[in-house]
Amino acid sequence: MSDAPKPSEHSAPMSREWHYHPELPVKYAPYWGLPPKVKVLARWIFQNWLQFSDRSIFLMLAFVVAFWLQPVASDQGVISVEWIIWVFLRNWGLLLVVAGGLHFWFYGIDGQGKLLKYDPRPYMKRKNALYKFGYQTWDNMYYSMVFGASILSTLECFLRWMYGSGLINTLSFWAHPVWFILLFPLLALWQSFHFYVVHLFLHQPFIYRHVHAVHHRNVNTGPWSGMSMHPVEATGYLSAILIVLVLPSHPVHMLFLGYWLMLGAASSHSGYEAIWARDRQALLLGAFFHQLHHRYYECNYGNAEMPWDKWFGSFHDGSEEATAATRARKRRMHAR
Ligand SMILES: [Zn+2]
Ligand SMILES: [Zn+2]
């Protein structure tokens, strides 16, 4: 459960720009406030990591795969179709279930109408020549499945082979329990930094035109928009997972980061604050920070985990003043 304001009974638009927005200004994860507010931080960690949320689901999934479905064993020290095929099938299947499931709920059966939906405009279901095959969803599914999930699977196979052949060590919980646990939030912070840097680069005019424009076809995003990326972008974005080549880790950490990257992109692009079912907020998705990026472009290159945008002057906190400042920055960038 979050502290987000309850949607009004009539589900009226909350502002001229947004049908729904969380409490403004947009907040960062409370690691960064000075002096540190220990209670707030403890509550945030409990709510986001240990209660039912997209993050805790990906964490559980990583444990199920790493310790039960397909643990890394010495057989994976040898490249063979027999184990590789399962990695690909599982990742395609997971993306299909998560992005497909969210899409089905929000836009297929219109499970909660506009309740907690950010953008007042409807999701683009009409034919539009901008998109591959003419439709946003088909376009997004094509890029997500052909490139997104396949590139993650390739990286996962490479890393499984590295662990399996002993080229990188497998960290045991019993040897280093504190590091084992701490590495999960550290990986989310690392991903935030990596995403900020890669994304800033993607917005350089030449790269934007040839690569990142594919992702930004989605102004009004849906779950399938998350991994809808040009293969160059998907490779750059997913390369965050290679951090396990230098940090001591267990395959469960690698898998968690992979799911955080791939499945997290589906939940963070769904266009809704949360899944609303049985008269309550059933699952918080909360990605207004990135929704602002898709609306105004030259702001919020990172995510809400770490305040890179705040530190480097590209933060959009959801206010009208921030919109004006972003538009001015965009004009300056284009004048150059
Ligand atoms: Zn995006
Ligand atoms: Zn972008």
What would the pLDDT profile of 198-250 be if each residue is shown by its tens digit?
A: 999 999 999 999 999 999 999 899 999 999 999 999 999 999 999 999 999 99
> Distance from the CA of 68 to the center of ligand 2, in angstroms?
37
Q: How far from 241 is each of 63, 154, 155, 245, CA to CA, in Å? A: 17, 11, 8, 9
Tokens of 113: 């109408």
Structure confidence at residue 69 (pLDDT): 98
Q: Give the number of the ligand closest to the Cα of residue 218.
A: 1
**Counting Cβ atoms within 10 Å, is residue 132 exposed (0-12), middle (13-18) or buried (19+)?**
middle
Of 299, 59, 294, which Cα lies nearest the Cα of 196?
A: 299
> Distance from the CA of 227 to the center of ligand 1, in angstroms?
8
Place of tokens 């998350």: 226
Q: Which segment, 29-33, 34-38, 150-154, is predicted with the most confidence on average?
A: 150-154
Say if residue 73's pLDDT is above 60.
yes
> Distance from the CA of 75 to the center of ligand 2, in angstroms?
40
What would the pLDDT profile of 85-123 be if each residue is shown by its tens digit?
A: 999 999 999 999 999 999 999 999 999 999 999 999 998
Structure confidence at residue 6 (pLDDT): 54
Q: Give the number of the ligand closest to the Cα of residue 297.
A: 2
CB proximity list for 121: less than 8 A, separation 6 or greater: 220
What is the average pLDDT across 150-154? 98
Say if residue 4's pLDDT is above 80.
no
Query: What own/partner pairs with CB < 8 Å and gap ≥ 24 does 266-269 have?
Result: 266/95, 266/98, 266/99, 266/102, 266/223, 266/224, 266/226, 266/227, 267/54, 267/98, 267/102, 267/223, 267/226, 268/226, 268/303, 269/218, 269/221, 269/222, 269/223, 269/224, 269/225, 269/226, 269/294
Q: Give the number of the ligand closest to the Cα of residue 291.
A: 1
Query: Mean pLDDT of all residues in the chain?
Result: 93
Share of the chain above pLDDT 70, in %: 97
Place of tokens 């990591």: 49
Q: Give the number of the ligand closest to the Cα of residue 264.
A: 1
- CA–CA separation, 282 vs 128, rounded Å? 33
Q: Give the number of the ligand closest to the Cα of residue 229.
A: 1
Structure confidence at residue 133 (pLDDT): 92
Q: Give the number of the ligand closest to the Cα of residue 219.
A: 1
Structure confidence at residue 200 (pLDDT): 96
> Distance from the CA of 212 to the center of ligand 1, in angstroms?
10
Helix (H, G, I), strand (E, B) or coil at 249: strand
CA 145 to centroid of chain Cα atoms: 16
Place of tokens 């019993």: 174
Structure confidence at residue 335 (pLDDT): 81
> Distance from the CA of 293 to the center of ligand 2, in angstroms?
7
The structural domains of the chain, with segments of one domain joined by +, span 38-335
> Distance from the CA of 283 to the center of ligand 1, in angstroms?
20
In which band, very low, low, confident or very high, does the pLDDT at 7 lie, cut at 50, 70 and 90?
low
Range with the poorest average pLDDT among 43-47, 266-270, 292-296:
43-47
> Distance from the CA of 301 to the center of ligand 2, in angstroms?
7
What DSSP state is assigned to residue 8?
Answer: P
Say if residue 143's pLDDT is above 60.
yes
What is the Rg, in whole angstroms, of the alpha carbon atoms belonging to the chain? 20
Structure confidence at residue 198 (pLDDT): 98
Structure confidence at residue 5 (pLDDT): 47
Higher per-residue pLDDT: 46 or 188: 188
CB proximity list for 165: less than 8 A, separation 6 or greater: 74, 76, 77, 78
> Distance from the CA of 167 to the center of ligand 1, in angstroms?
34
Pairing of strands 280-284, 274-277: antiparallel
> Distance from the CA of 72 to the center of ligand 1, in angstroms?
32
- What is the value of pTM for the model shown? 0.94
Q: Give the number of the ligand closest to the Cα of residue 287.
A: 1
- Assess contact for 212 and 230: CB atoms under 8 A: yes
- CA–CA separation, 263 vs 152, rounded Å? 11
> Distance from the CA of 220 to the center of ligand 2, in angstroms?
13
- Assess contact for 132 and 185: CB atoms under 8 A: no
